[in-house]
Amino acid sequence: MRRKTGTKKRICSGCGKHVGTIHEVVQREIRDLPWSEYKATVIVELCRLRCPECGPRIEKVAQLPSKAPSFSKRFEDAVGEACEGAAAVHVAKRFGISASTARAIDPRYLERWTASRRRPALKQMGVDELYLGKSRKFIMVVSNLETGEPLWFGLRRKKETLDEFFEKELKSSQRRRIEAACVDMWPAFTSSIQQWAPQCAIVYDKFHVMQHANKAIGDASW
């Protein structure tokens, strides 16, 4: 396969900028979707560009998502979709690749899927922490309770950590759409939410409510 001749500048796969100077023309064997029961390999002509910032780099082609392309985008998409419902070893056997290759393709597919999809509006959010052991202790997790999707992870269980999520991950219009937030009774979470989304109703999760109620009943019984 050869690209049509034209004056359009090519894109550097390193920095993403348009580059007009061609360093050399190379050929790559690209694995594509099979035809019937046969494996399909396409020989593609690509340009190595002389990028002023990155040096010699292969051009960026939408149909070849990897910077060192060995597979076409539609082949990687097919492998990634298959990995959603099967183990990598089974997907690898189906497509005639190694299990390690299937595992390498899967995160690239997920990154493209995440970048292209339209995220649902955040109306009901959850803030909680996961205990990772004595060395790292807690990690903060912000999730969309309507979809069950984790949205963001913070390394510390502090108000400043949740402030970073509100400030960097959400626009002001997105913060105003939040209707309710479910948190435990950690004051740092409540304080951050009240600052960045004051219209949001705060709901304490029932586990911590029951924990305090049982403690109060136990203290009263004495």
The per-residue pLDDT for range 55-110, each reduced to its tens digit, is 888 888 888 887 667 899 999 999 999 999 999 999 999 998 999 999 999 999 98
Mean local confidence (pLDDT), 115-122:
83
Task: For residue 84, give the DSSP letter.
Answer: T
Task: For residue 62, give the DSSP letter.
Answer: T
Query: Which residue do the tokens 């064997």 mark?
Result: 29
Confidence of residue 176 (pLDDT cuts 50, 70, 90): very high
Burial 33-50 (b: 16+ CB within 10 A, else e): eeeeeeeeeeebebbbbb
Pairing mode of beta strands 124-131, 138-144: antiparallel
| Cα 33 from Cα 78, distance rounded (Å) | 8
| Cα 9 from Cα 7, distance rounded (Å) | 6
Mean local confidence (pLDDT), 109-128:
87
* Six token digits for residue 78: 């097919």
What pLDDT, on a 0 to 100 scale, did the predictor assign at position 15? 85
Domain spans of the chain, in order of start = 10-116, 124-221
| Cα 2 from Cα 7, distance rounded (Å) | 15
pTM: 0.60
- How many other C-beta atoms lie within 10 A of the C-beta of residue 148? 8
The CATH number of the structural domain formed by 124-221 is 3.30.420.10
| Cα 169 from Cα 175, distance rounded (Å) | 10
- Convert the pLDDT of each residue in 47-65 to its tens digit: 888 888 888 888 888 888 8
Closest C-alpha among 39, 101, 30 to residue 69: 30
Average pLDDT, the chain: 85
Is the Cα dihedral 164, 167, 170, 174 positive or negative?
positive
